[in-house]
Chain A
């Protein structure tokens, strides 16, 4: 593998968007007959690199060569014609057309301008047989599962005589068996000498299939490694960009007694709660006054857990008990009735109504809970809003300012206040401290502690392990859309152990499911 020359090289690639440096001086190379994983957290620059490679974006700086020839594609079509095919996460085929037509449309064999359907079907069957796929090629593509559609997309890509195949998160919506099918085909293509660039969030899959790994972080190149020479823990460190010994020096504030809290009926208990394609079934109990931390890499399924608990997505199965009574959390309205509040990680799109005032934003959830026919008296509104503006130290302390004029940290506090006004019993905070300054961050952390002392249960989601450790009574760890562990936050728990749990080997308790 390594002794041949790279089929593709990218050298010194930089790309900026207004206000964002998406890629900075990144090098990347791809050898024939290898599966090369491109790793990094969300926003690390993986997608941008692929878009630069396939000509969706121009480069600001840097050079790309294919077979030692400099190339600069103007778009995916030109890249495909040159032998660089991309299969995207979302299958870009037409589900209303037949399998055979999806493989050949645009280059059907014709006779005097008429498509030779017999020949199309025969060649489609032959091509799919090479991939060990036995499909009815005249059936509409939409009658097959997403995994099969994905493979038909690969069949289309390799029929264009691809030398480089880019698979952009092809496994994100596949189940274990489907992933196995895909990997079988990837190995086959690799053995035929095709260079495969594989992007995924799933660490286990990387170690199963990839020969080489390139890690990006914050738009920069961290390094290129042989999979065999990079332990999984080191990979996680490189993706997150923190050495373990740095993490160990965290000051540990409040380690509260979990055993005392866990006596009595849990406030919310779910078991076998899950949603296909989003998060594997998990069980979790949350008691009044308990802060449960949810740790894991971006994209590991943390937000999905939160959305299920709030009813924003509907669980496929499992049981829910609130206060020990069987119950359901199928819609946000039901969740709110049970006293669940949810501060979304995406405060701009899903939380804050930028044009409404601080006061109007704060009372939204309470008004929704009361029903629109029972307006909250203005005096009561003012009381509540004043109280929380003071309590949370929101600046400017003027309830009539449009929220758009507030800083990110203060917007986050307004959002928090919105749910606090409804006096929830369980508050789900998804990345409440992301992208806000250190002062506001500390205030929010302090607030979480106060709330839980007052008996409120909190599910606290954060990418920052220090924060999770400081606040939580117990930490649930997500990896590859599974809840892999629930760790009591006692003396023995530190960032190192959480990190190891996030990274830990290819051992998957529920792989047989």
Chain B
């Protein structure tokens, strides 16, 4: 019998394994940016990066919500439709002359309410998130067309000012209000995941839901919360999209949920849950944005190349996660 202080036999050497996918994404982003800078002189302008954020601010916010869901091991297919529905509702209500503040409140309530309902169905009826959120997706998309079959322009003063406001430095570089809002969302989400019980419970449930339950963690509440958070993020994303396009269109953001999932996964969040960071999701969105920018700069390539490259990257990152998972399992 050994006595005295015991040094535990560590079974495997330790790398910062949780960080490997994020570091890989960061490296990829730097390589792509380097390619851009070396190929096109205009690419080195900081405004190129800012434009990526301006064009993808709403995507980033929605991806942050999706990160919560995927961290628990779930999935939310409804986000694209909820984004569109939020924009549609905003546009329709503004058209009817409702005050902008009230419209904002209503628009920001719809997404989380739907998310809450889907979360309850997923948890209490033990139904696959895939199918529940698929139903949510059809429902929200249907509501868009129900509101109006055609695009509704937004002429409200508050919306147009939000759309046109530029926050810049004296050298002429700028970002939009949407980018600032997206950054605030990112910061709050990162803090929530790292420092609050809700956030830690999200990781625990993603790691092992059965264990989380036996450890006395509020699994039901947390699971419902992540779908509500995703709904809220989709609603914010919808508002940002309506700032960006100054309209609500029934067929906008079709298939966006897939871009969002791709960004989250490329950002290093494991689809089975339990590992990943909001910072990774920011990188994932940037990767998507920089690919688009590169293809725009090239000019000769069809925009479908974006999809092809994203497809290839997704494969690579899922394989990377799997390899890391096997190694440490």
Contacts and interface: CB of A to CB of B under 8 A. Distances in A.
A350 to B, nearest CB: 24
A145 B18 contact: no
Given A77-B216, A105-B215, A144 B8 contact: yes
Contacts of B6: 132-134, 181
A244 interface: no
Interface in A116-139: 117, 132-136, 139
B169 interface: no
A136 B208 CA distance: 21
A326 interface: no
B2 A92 contact: no
Contact of B11 (A94, A145, A183): A145
A76 interface: yes
Contacts of A94: 203-204, 207-208, 211-212, 215, 274
Contact of A92 (B4, B5, B215): B215
A140 interface: yes
Given A95-B208, A180-B2, A181-B2, A145 B8 contact: yes
B323 to A, nearest CB: 16
A371 interface: no
Contacts of B211: 91-94
B217 A105 contact: yes
A447 interface: no
Contacts of B2: 177, 180-181, 184
A188 B274 CA distance: 34
A139 B13 CA distance: 11
B210 A92 contact: yes
A101 interface: yes
B203 A143 contact: no
Interface string B198-218: 001101101110111011110
B328 interface: yes
Nearest to B15: A143
Interface stretch (A60-68, A106-114, A232-240): A106-114
A99 B115 CA distance: 33
Given A76-B214, A93-B215, A135-B8, A114 B207 contact: no
A115 B203 contact: no
Interface string B124-162: 000000000000000000000000000000000000000
B321 to A, nearest CB: 13
Contact of B8 (A80, A97, A148): A148
A446 B165 CA distance: 93
Contacts of B1: 180, 183-184
A113 B198 CA distance: 10
Interface in B197-248: 197, 200-201, 203-204, 206-208, 210-212, 214-217
Nearest to A102: B215
Which residue among A101, A105, A117, A142 has the maximum number of chain B CB atoms within 10 Å of its CB? A105
A96 interface: yes
A274 to B, nearest CB: 19
A184 B215 CA distance: 25
A110 B214 CA distance: 22
A196 to B, nearest CB: 17
Interface in A67-111: 76-77, 80, 88, 91-97, 101, 105-106, 108, 110
Contacts, number: 102
Nearest to B205: A94
Nearest to A145: B11
B196 interface: yes
Given A133-B8, A180-B2, A140 B17 contact: yes
B45 interface: no
B214 A92 contact: yes
Contacts of A114: 191, 195-196
Contact of B196 (A76, A115, A177): A115
Nearest to A148: B8
A97 B210 contact: no
Given A96-B206, A184-B3, A143 B215 contact: no
Nearest to A88: B214
A77 B206 CA distance: 20
A355 B132 CA distance: 33
A116 to B, nearest CB: 9
B214 A134 contact: no
B207 A95 contact: yes
Contacts of B191: 114
Interface in B1-55: 1-12, 14, 17-18
A469 B328 CA distance: 47
Interface string A252-290: 000000000000000000000000000000000000000
A139 B17 CA distance: 10
Contacts of A144: 8, 10-11
A221 B275 CA distance: 47
A105 B204 contact: yes
Given A113-B197, A140-B17, 18 more contacts: A77-B216, A92-B214, A94-B208, A95-B208, A96-B275, A97-B200, A97-B207, A101-B200, A106-B197, A106-B201, A106-B217, A114-B196, A134-B5, A134-B8, A136-B14, A142-B329, A143-B12, A181-B6
26 contacts: A80-B216, A91-B211, A92-B210, A93-B208, A94-B204, A94-B211, A94-B215, A95-B208, A96-B203, A96-B275, A105-B201, A105-B217, A106-B197, A110-B197, A113-B195, A113-B196, A114-B195, A114-B196, A115-B196, A115-B200, A132-B3, A136-B14, A143-B328, A145-B11, A148-B8, A181-B2
10 closest pairs, A vs B, by CB? A94-B207, A96-B207, A96-B274, A114-B195, A92-B211, A92-B214, A77-B216, A145-B11, A94-B204, A148-B8
